Chains A and B, each alone.
Chain A
Amino acid sequence: MLKTRVIPCLDVKDGRVVKGVNFVNLRDAGDPVECAIAYDAAGADELCFLDITASHEERGLLFDAVQRTAEACFMPLTVGGGVRTLDDIRNLLLAGADKASIMTAAVHDRDFVRRGAEKFGSQCIVVAIDAKNVAAGRWEIFTHGGRRPTGIDAVEYAKEVTALGAGEILLTSMDRDGAKSGFDIELTRTIADAVSIPVIASGGVGTLEHLVEGVRDGHASAVLAASIFHFGEFTIGGAKDYMAKAGLPMRLDRPAF
């Protein structure tokens, strides 16, 4: 049976993890490789890096971080943030990322999704959607960290990028992001039910029950969270045990070596 994935997301700036991971004693909590190894050992099902480097010149530091992580951790790695061209995707995949997450570039040029999927395969194209509730049952895509409206309907957009070859959707509710009040379940379910590809729910997790709700009620295939894991509030293992007890299929493997 396919398991529900739990994906911790790390913000990376100039090749360093911002805020770090505080649930284990790391020599260097800002080192992406050390953080990735800690999450690998904790049972994370995938790992996500969100690059928040401001200048394009510093991208080399990100590629170096991705490469060192891929050499040390044998788990799927998604990298997003500033992915604008086919070369950006190629460089991430060559550094060792398994999937590239694209957001603003796809909003401005829908065909970028199709070109990326044709060139590298749908399995490595994640489309990130930042959505805000603008009316009952209606959500709009926002860019620039939720500050800039686009007028694009999130559900229609999700269907469109699916048809263009996206392999997965990373859906963040900008109303809930950082609020710790739970995922926007109606948004998650509306989009998950509207598309044939997996949806990762993101934005708003404050409790372990929120993770369960995202999958059971929101129909997400995976849940992504950052702060609740980084600060040791909850462990990945604790989250997966909780979700398993709630009846969700989880990977609770003991190491085979």
Chain B
Amino acid sequence: MNVAIIDYGSGNLHSAAKAFERAARESGIDAAISVTADAEAVRRADRVVLPGVGAFADCRRGLLEIEGMAEALEDAVRKGGAPFLGICVGMQLLAERGLEHGDTPGLGWIGGAVVPIQPSDPKLKIPHMGWNNLDLNRPHPVLEGIATGRDGLNAYFVHSYHLLASNPDDVIATTEYGGPLTAMVGRDTIVGVQFHPEKSQSMGLRLISNFLRWRP
């Protein structure tokens, strides 16, 4: 199985790749993990991962600057049905638009917009930074074996914006921070997580391994 982690100049992907390698090894999956900026490699990949740190508009620009990448993503994921995992800003880019530093169009694969977190309690700090549990809207194979709810496992978050989906069915899980924040979205062969599985210790490795095993 070829897994392409898209490198579009948004941070260091070396440790993310190591997390995917570890998760594959621990669950006995034969996977070749590559960090790539090559649109053709993405087009041919069996699974596609879009990471992202920083601001929505910068990430969007970086992604589009790679010639043929937008088309390759469409071909591999939306036409070819390759399982797709977006992480943090890589998840936010699935939305129709992002409102960080202006109004920027996203991939539009998930209806909705990326908006600032506005907790009901003004004492809550922004960014939402640290470990928080997931509240499940609907089960998903990528969350298999990961306990959710108040006493569930925690994932590592760091973000000031979140994806407000227009269709509630696209929201797989939320996390509570002065109101629900979107933690995981998905439809068809696409999932996106606001948190960082590559920084979430064993919970994150389990999620990555579930993603590698997922046959939508």
- The interface of chain A, by Cβ under 8 A from chain B, is 1-5, 40, 45, 67, 70-72, 74-76, 93-96, 98, 120-124, 167-168, 196-198, 221-222, 251, 253, 255-257
Cβ-closest chain A residue relative to B55: A121
- Per-residue CB contact flags for chain B residues 127-163 toward chain A (1 = under 8 Å, else 0) read 1111111000000000001110010011010111000
The 4 A-B pairs with the shortest beta carbon distances in the complex, nearest first, are A256-B206, A121-B54, A255-B202, A70-B15
In the docked arrangement, what's the CA distance between A3 and B22, Å?
26
Whether the pair B202, A257 counts as a contact (CB closer than 8 A) is yes
Whether the pair B205, A256 counts as a contact (CB closer than 8 A) is yes
In the docked arrangement, what's the CA distance between A222 and B158, Å?
14
> Which stretch in B30-38, B62-70, B193-201 binds the other chain?
B193-201
Is B53 engaged at the interface, CB distance under 8 Å to the other chain?
Answer: yes
The B contact surface, by secondary structure, is mixed
Whether the pair B176, A1 counts as a contact (CB closer than 8 A) is yes
In the docked arrangement, what's the CA distance between A111 and B95, Å?
33
Whether the pair A123, B158 counts as a contact (CB closer than 8 A) is yes
In the docked arrangement, what's the CA distance between A71 and B130, Å?
20
Is B29 engaged at the interface, CB distance under 8 Å to the other chain?
Answer: no
In the docked arrangement, what's the CA distance between A57 and B160, Å?
37
Is B40 engaged at the interface, CB distance under 8 Å to the other chain?
Answer: no
Whether the pair B14, A98 counts as a contact (CB closer than 8 A) is no
- The interface of chain B, by Cβ under 8 A from chain A, is 11-12, 14-15, 18-19, 22, 26, 53-55, 125-133, 145-147, 150, 153-154, 156, 158-160, 176-177, 196, 198-206, 209
**A75-B199, A256-B145 known; A3+B206 contact, CB < 8 A:** no
* CB proximity of A127 to chain B, nearest CB, Å: 14
Whether the pair B130, A45 counts as a contact (CB closer than 8 A) is yes
10 example contacts (A-B, Cβ-Cβ < 8 A) are as follows: A2-B177, A5-B130, A75-B199, A76-B158, A76-B199, A94-B12, A96-B15, A123-B127, A256-B147, A257-B206
In the docked arrangement, what's the CA distance between A187 and B11, Å?
34
Known: A1-B133, A71-B14, A251-B131. 12 other contacts (CB 8 A): A3-B132, A72-B18, A74-B205, A96-B12, A121-B53, A121-B55, A167-B129, A198-B127, A253-B154, A256-B203, A256-B205, A257-B202
| Chain A residues, Cβ within 8 Å of B129 | 123, 167-168, 198, 221
| Chain A residues, Cβ within 8 Å of B177 | 2
Whether the pair A75, B201 counts as a contact (CB closer than 8 A) is yes
Of the candidates B147, B154, B200, which one forms a contact with A74 in the assembled complex, judged by CB atoms under 8 Å apart?
A: B200
| Chain B residues, Cβ within 8 Å of A121 | 53-55
In the docked arrangement, what's the CA distance between A256 and B55, Å?
31
| Chain A residues, Cβ within 8 Å of B206 | 256-257
| Chain B residues, Cβ within 8 Å of A2 | 128, 130-132, 177
In the docked arrangement, what's the CA distance between A197 and B133, Å?
21
In the docked arrangement, what's the CA distance between A235 and B82, Å?
44
Whether the pair B204, A74 counts as a contact (CB closer than 8 A) is yes
Whether the pair A253, B199 counts as a contact (CB closer than 8 A) is no
| Chain B residues, Cβ within 8 Å of A71 | 14-15, 18
* CB proximity of A93 to chain B, nearest CB, Å: 5
Of the candidates A3, A96, A122, A257, which one forms a contact with B130 in the assembled complex, judged by CB atoms under 8 Å apart?
A: A3
Whether the pair A40, B201 counts as a contact (CB closer than 8 A) is yes
Could you say which of B26, B131, B154, B159 has the most chain A C-beta atoms within 10 Å of its C-beta? B131
In the docked arrangement, what's the CA distance between A74 and B208, Å?
12
Whether the pair A76, B156 counts as a contact (CB closer than 8 A) is yes
Whether the pair A98, B199 counts as a contact (CB closer than 8 A) is yes
In the docked arrangement, what's the CA distance between A196 and B124, Å?
8
Whether the pair A96, B14 counts as a contact (CB closer than 8 A) is yes
Of the candidates B146, B154, B159, which one forms a contact with A3 in the assembled complex, judged by CB atoms under 8 Å apart?
A: B154
* CB proximity of B84 to chain A, nearest CB, Å: 21
Whether the pair A74, B19 counts as a contact (CB closer than 8 A) is yes
| Chain B residues, Cβ within 8 Å of A168 | 129
